Structure 1
Amino acid sequence: MNHPPEVNVLVVDDVAQNLLALEALLARPGIHVLKAGSGAEALELLLNHDVAMALLDVQMPEIDGFTLAELMRGAERTRHIPIIFLTAASQDQQRTFRGYEAGAVDFLYKPLEPHVLGSKVAVFVDLYVQRQRLQQQITEVQRLRKLNEMMTAVLTHDLRTPLMAIALSAEIVYRRGHDDAIQKAGQRIKASSSRMARTIDHLLNFSRIRTGIASISPKMADLGSVCAAVVTEIVEARPDVKVPVQCEGDLTGTFDTDRLSQVFANLIGTALEHAGDGVAVNVKLDGTHKERLNVHVSFPTVLSDDVQAELFRPILAGQGRDGVRSTLGAGLAIVDQGISAHGGSIVARSNATEGTVFEFLIPRSERPSH
């Protein structure tokens, strides 16, 4: 059976009998008492050991407890160690103030009450153990994140090869097809595989994001055409769905067409998934404003409170709370990233009056992101 590592508690007193007494009082599984007979000896121990807390006698020759505490506070390695002062002197207010100023968390007066001493030490030892566990968890999360990034990079690289084969095959079908239907099918496969390749690149970009927003490559384009291409692809793949698109005003602007294609694909796909069978998802593009372009994606179904609470969290696809497979978190997290990269914003509403509405806007003239 593996036992947890012992936690070090530093005890500093110039009287040897006091050190032995404190060691006996603190004796319990999981605690290792480091004994120092002087301030200099204590500093040497602190250089070589991690300490959960320190019990310092105030009155010692050469380096007294207050001076030792100030030296500990002046070093990065030891500044966060909790300090309890031990003193036989009366509770003098000025001395107490100096002790707290030196970094004490408490004072204990001799003769020591064993239960009080044990309880106070146990609190700081438990806090130290919890901090160590938390640090271990943070380290493990960072390790897994790096592993995930590496696997994502490998996956995106490996997917490009079969996608290229699909694109080349689609080109052959398109060029050698004997009728329009076959040629159109080849053209659609080629266009879809090309967009999938770009989506893979964006997935890699998305996985590397720490803070801020991802870079984009804006160019002059028509938002209506971008949306129409995505809707056409969705409807061809799923002939049973209904995605009517309404366009109003001038929809030209400067933006990254690939990123906004990804935004539309994820947003409309998420809407279709949660709207329900046979329920239309309505898309409205509004270009009547001079400085911005507005988009509404709506359907009459009302989302549950649990789903609404996790709308834009980057959750991987999996089983939802109701057992239904859901990609909501991942899809809308990517949507949010894409819109933020354009200097825009998105809001979501879901209630009995409106149903569910996703509304986003982007500046008509894109402001380059950094």
Structure 2
Amino acid sequence: MALEGTEQLTPHVPVRVEPRTTSILLVDDHGPNLLALEAILEPMGQKLVKAASGPEALRWLLREDFALILLDVQMPGMDGFETARIIRQRERSRYTPIIFLTAHGRDEANLVSGYASGAADYVVKPFHPEVLRWKAEAFVALYVQQRALQRQEAALWERERRMLERQGELRFRRLVDSMPQFVWALLADGTISYANRGWLDYAGLTAEQGRQREDNLRCFHPDDLGKVQATWEVLRRSGLPREQEYRLRRATDGEFRWFLCRTLPERDGAGRLVGWISTATDIDDARRAVETLRATNEAKDMFLTMAAHELRTPLQAARSYADLATKKAGEEQTPNVARALEGIQRSVGRMARLVENLLDMGRLQRGELSLEEQDVDVRALLHEVAEHFEPLPEGRDIHVEAPEGLVLRADEERLDQVLSNLVSNALRYSPDGGDIRLRAREEGRWVHVEVLDHGLGIPADRLENIFERFGRAHGVSYGGLGLGLAIARGIVERHGGRVWAESSGRPGGGSTFHIVLPRPVS
């Protein structure tokens, strides 16, 4: 089959193509034709790859990219049209130009089939070698230009990306430098790669000194250096965030201030540790305020405890004198004197309870409240508590609902104190009267005691606060120091139990106080 024609052509100015930058795939089942194609295209200086069949051509296309494919139409087995259709189905070779080589002339049916299969051009055998080379040079030049444009586009994108990164880093540095917190960036081994302006100004360090570990450590309080090293060892072993308080020296006056330092790990996309970010926030003023408040509270508690101790003696003396006066007067007391002595005894008793509450609160805070545990019959205890408040005003009553044989291992006197306090509150905050109910039941390994009233109720936002020291649901209107419920909670918790309140908050809706205590293990 002849590959050369005899047509006279005008002189051709060859397209400039970079040598050895692209590959051309030659596909023909006749070896002599492949040799002829190779001879024609060799002057182009490109890499020429030969394939003797469609399947072989497809295997080459899996290995590398080609600027052009010269594909014979008539091949046994898989012809050129079928080979072209498969080439177009693959993402990698979908846009690679294909020139069909055919001996069927310009038959319209063949032309339609060829272009439908993805042909970019047609060359009819016999063809002029220079025509074929011109076409090949044009497609290769186009491919080279496209690749150059792609490289240029990629370079522009990379340049823009680097510019955006630099802008982002500059913006980040400015943001971090303007922060009131101190910021350090560390490598995975602890080497400091960056310290923000806030820290450098505070510590009086240059940017270079800010990256030196020893220069930074000299700014820590000597007593905190051990904690710094211990914290770093924990960070290296665990790789987890950690925070610690340290004192850092201010360069302007040499004062050490407290800072909360947080260190977070930095990880790459694969989860590998690549560095650390540490921050330090000034908490010195807040810490001093807390210490001042704590010292004030301790002084107040000490004063209240001392005052309570000092009041005990005169109160006991007043109670003794009232009892002595009652006995001395005997039956000769006039009604007015009897009422006066009863008033004195009630007032002394109320004052004595307030003093005991102050002392108990101090013991609870110091962890010195001791318990003398014994077997306690819950039903008997509830009846005894109810009897404390007899006689009750007309229209009031205390009902006890508890099963026989319900026993606790507890300090009976302290539980009596807790329940009496709750009943006293129920009576105090039920100015319109109504019954009080004391109920107890067994719930698995627990005993559940409830104190219910139909009084003023407790606002929802006060349900938790009423168990704090000096906490009151209704202000000072109903008297008391606001210690009773705090003491009750302390005593219940010392027994391993829990106490809480429920209330609708509506007058007349009342409140329910719950106490849950563990039963003895048999």
Query: Which residue of the partner structure matches residue 453 of structure 2?
Result: 299
Which residue of the other structure, out of 213, 217, 227, is the alignment partner of 1:70? 217
Q: Which runs of 5+ in 2 are unaligned?
A: 1-200, 226-245, 252-274, 333-343
* Fraction of identical pairs, as percent: 20
1:329/1:56 Cα in 2 relative to 1: closer, same or farther (>3 Å)? same
Alignment of 1:184-199 (within 5 A): none
Q: Does 1:81 align with 2:248?
A: yes
Q: Does 1:55 align with 2:210?
A: no
Q: CA deviation at 1:201?
A: 4.9
Query: Which residue of the partner structure matches residue 511 of structure 2?
Result: 356
Letter matched to residue 210 of structure 1:
Q
Q: Helix, strand or coil for the counterpart of 1:248?
A: coil
| Whole-angstrom distance in 2 between the partners of 1:271 and 1:289 | 24
Q: CA deviation at 1:204?
A: 1.5
Q: CA deviation at 1:348?
A: 1.8
Which residue of the other structure, out of 287, 298, 316, is the alignment partner of 1:160? 316
Q: CA deviation at 1:206?
A: 2.5
Query: Which residue of the partner structure matches residue 114 of structure 2?
Result: none
Q: TM-score, length-normalised on structure 1? A: 0.55
1:279/1:156 Cα in 2 relative to 1: closer, same or farther (>3 Å)? same
Q: TM-score, length-normalised on structure 2? A: 0.41
- Give CA deviations for 1:30-84 in whole Å, capped at 9, x if unaligned: xxxxxxxxxxxxxxxxxxxxxx953234668xxx975343133361279521668
- Give CA deviations for 1:125-170 in whole Å, capped at 9, x if unaligned: xx64554444433333332232222223323344333345556778
Alignment of 1:112-131 (within 5 A): 128-129=284-285, 131=287
1:325/1:295 Cα in 2 relative to 1: closer, same or farther (>3 Å)? same
| Whole-angstrom distance in 1 between the partners of 2:215 and 2:464 | 51
**1:58–1:66 Cα contact (<8 Å) kept:** no
**2:450–2:512 Cα contact (<8 Å) kept:** yes
Query: Which residue of the partner structure matches residue 336 of structure 1?
Result: 489
Bigger-Rg structure (1/2): 2
Query: Which residue of the partner structure matches residue 147 of structure 1?
Result: 303
1:257/1:167 Cα in 2 relative to 1: closer, same or farther (>3 Å)? farther
Q: Helix, strand or coil for the counterpart of 2:425?
A: helix
Letter matched to residue 293 of structure 1:
V
| Whole-angstrom distance in 2 between the partners of 1:264 and 1:366 | 23
Equivalenced residues, count: 267
- Give CA deviations for 1:270-303 in whole Å, capped at 9, x if unaligned: 12222341222111233x5674433221124442
Higher relative contact order (CA 8 A, sep 6+): 1
1:145/1:203 Cα in 2 relative to 1: closer, same or farther (>3 Å)? closer
Alignment of 1:80-119 (within 5 A): 80-81=247-248
Letter matched to residue 294 of structure 1:
H
| Whole-angstrom distance in 2 between the partners of 1:195 and 1:362 | 29
Q: CA deviation at 1:263?
A: 0.9
Query: Which residue of the partner structure matches residue 280 of structure 1?
Result: 435
1:227/1:140 Cα in 2 relative to 1: closer, same or farther (>3 Å)? same
Q: CA deviation at 1:314?
A: 1.7
Alignment of 1:226-245 (within 5 A): 226-236=381-391, 238=393, 241-245=396-400
**1:312–1:333 Cα contact (<8 Å) kept:** yes
Q: CA deviation at 1:259?
A: 0.8
| Whole-angstrom distance in 2 between the partners of 1:271 and 1:205 | 21
Q: CA deviation at 1:258?
A: 1.4
Q: Helix, strand or coil for the counterpart of 2:398?
A: coil
- Give CA deviations for 1:76-106 in whole Å, capped at 9, x if unaligned: 279521668xxxxxxxxxxxxxxx99x886x
| Whole-angstrom distance in 2 between the partners of 1:289 and 1:197 | 37
Q: Does 1:210 align with 2:365?
A: yes
- Give CA deviations for 1:173-198 in whole Å, capped at 9, x if unaligned: 9xx889xxxxxxxxxx99xx999979
Letter matched to residue 80 of structure 1:
R
Q: CA deviation at 1:266?
A: 0.7
Question: Bigger CA drift: 262-271 or 355-364?
Answer: 355-364
| Whole-angstrom distance in 2 between the partners of 1:200 and 1:144 | 15
| Whole-angstrom distance in 2 between the partners of 1:135 and 1:341 | 27
